[in-house]
Amino acid sequence: MARYIFITGGVVSSLGKGLTSAALGALLQARGFSVRLRKLDPYLNVDPGTMSPFEHGEVFVTDDGAETDLDLGHYERFTGVAARKTDSVSSGRIYSDVLEKERRGDYLGKTIQVIPHVTNEIKDFINIGDDEVDFMLCEIGGTVGDIEALPFFEAIRQFSQDKAPGQCIFMHLTLLPYLAASGELKTKPTQHSVKELRSIGIAPDILVCRSEHPIPDKERAKIGLFCNVRQEAVIPAYDLKSIYEAPMAYHNVGLDQAVLDAFQINPAPKPNLSRWQDVEDRIHHAEGEVNIAIVGKYVQLEDAYKSIKEALTHGGMANRVKVNVEWVDAEVFDTVDPAPHLEGFHAILVPGGFGERGTEGKIKAAEFARTRKIPYLGICLGMQLAVIEAARNVAGMPEAGSEEFDHEAGEKRFEPVVYHLKEWVQGNYTVKRKVGDDKGGTMRLGAYNATLAEGSNVARIYGGTTIEERHRHRYEVDTKYREALEAKGLQFSGMSPDGRLPEIVEWADHPWFIGVQFHPELKSKPFEPHPLFADFVRAAIEVERLV
């Protein structure tokens, strides 16, 4: 039976509950325990799949096809445990399931209420996989006091009472603001946050206090006294140069020990932290640096490309170099020469996205990389636009475009090199979709296999010809243009096992130009960099050495 750690937040949002949860999971693994991490989000969207990246950052996709919160990316990157559909739930999903049961008559005519029906649904979700791991870490989104989060707080309160004594603990993350005028750290917001938490029946066992300044022992003692928490369980959390310093930083201030003490696990297994010591060494002892441009349209919010940014960092670790990422707005050169904006970079990456805005700029970025022989990695839409660029400028199809942008073009004629994906094979059955289907959850989602061409660049990078990668898209390159494009040198070097869906393209005469339909960034980890990103950074290093 699992032990449960519920992680809540107070004072302000965006304090780093996801990172703290992930780092704690990594520390428990270092002590020999198995872990699983979950995110419970209060928003009413069924999932973040239809939310703009400006609203909620990137959408992280699991192997089994769930569109989830970006915190699940942190969980995977720090623990290596592949997330599942059962590791992420929202209020929207909970209410949807409750109402579906009510319509079926499952409640036998009872009046449906938040307590017990909604809270029971949440508890049932939390309890999934109870016998699979030693520790289940459950992060509650938002902050204590948020009206939409109240059912989740009530559910975890009930859950802790349902379980045996000592099987659940609560960890609360707060902020200690610093007043420069008086030179003081203020503990009152934390006291009020804990008071709010206690008012709904939850008493924290551990407090993690974010601060930009050192927290004196007397302040920790004061917090412990007024919040009814042992001083040893008041854990300071300071700003770090890299998120990958978090496991060692939290270990050094005793977070993992405080958790084991709260569960009365004594003696505590000694940790093996060699993995994270090596990660820190690679971060702090880089032997060079490269500059890589991410050409996108959500560049005002870096969380929109969170996994890509981290995967590039991992690629840098693999090569012992620092990767300097610059966010380049594709719309800036939609109608002008991209050279002034892209010269000086050692590599260019065009990520995925939806909609027409900025696509002409991304196409120009692909052309710039192709003609200047600069390493290029196109992901999802970045691959599709690289194919459109090749069709327009190399294969003699100046009207090449995508149904995603041109299906409402009226009388305008265009060559639909990229089309709406109407069907694909998933397991033992065929999935079919129409253009007018609901947007949520109707894409090609999750892990699919691909077969790589012998002797291709990607086969060399992966070290084999069979791979499995995660997808999230509803448009696809049309294979009827394959022959014309390959005749001009654009190799379709990765295909779905049935040969119907292009997965990877590459220019045979280019030092490093690869487009992939899937999202390799979702599987990259600091201690296991994704091979595509590791080799992409290696190619950027070669350019840097030639400059």
Identify whether 168 is a catalytic site residue.
no
Whole-angstrom distance, CA of residue 138 vs CA of residue 24 = 12
Residue from 67, 172, 521, 530 carrying the catalytic annotation: 521
Q: Is 471 a catalytic residue?
A: no
Distance CA 483, CA 363 (A): 21
Beta bridge partners of 7: 139, 171
Please name the residues in contact with 42: beta carbons below 8 A apart, sequence gap of 6 or more: 90, 91, 140, 141, 142, 146, 148, 149, 152
Backbone angles phi, psi at 137, to 5 degrees: -105, 120
CA 389 to chain centre: 29
C-alpha R_g of the chain: 25
Dihedral (CA of 117, 48, 136, 128) sign: positive
For residue 533, the tally of other CB atoms under 10 A from its CB is 28
What lies within 8 Å, CB to CB, of 84 at 6+ separation is: 62, 63, 64, 66
Q: Which of 138, 209, 227, 380 is catalytic?
A: 380
d(CA 482, CA 313): 34
Q: Is 320 left (phi over 0), alpha (psi -120 to 50) or beta?
A: left
Give the HSE-up count for residue 14: Cα atoms under 13 Å, Cβ half-sphere. 3
Amino acid at 396: G
Residue 407 a catalytic site member? no
**Active-site option among 74, 117, 346, 519:** 519
Residue 545: Cβ within 10 Å count: 10
Give dist(CA 493, CA 503) in Å, integer: 8
Q: How far apart are the first and last CA of the chain?
A: 58
Q: How far apart are CA 361 and CA 389, in angstroms?
A: 11
| Whether 395 contacts 531, CB under 8 Å | no
Catalytic site positions: 380, 519, 521
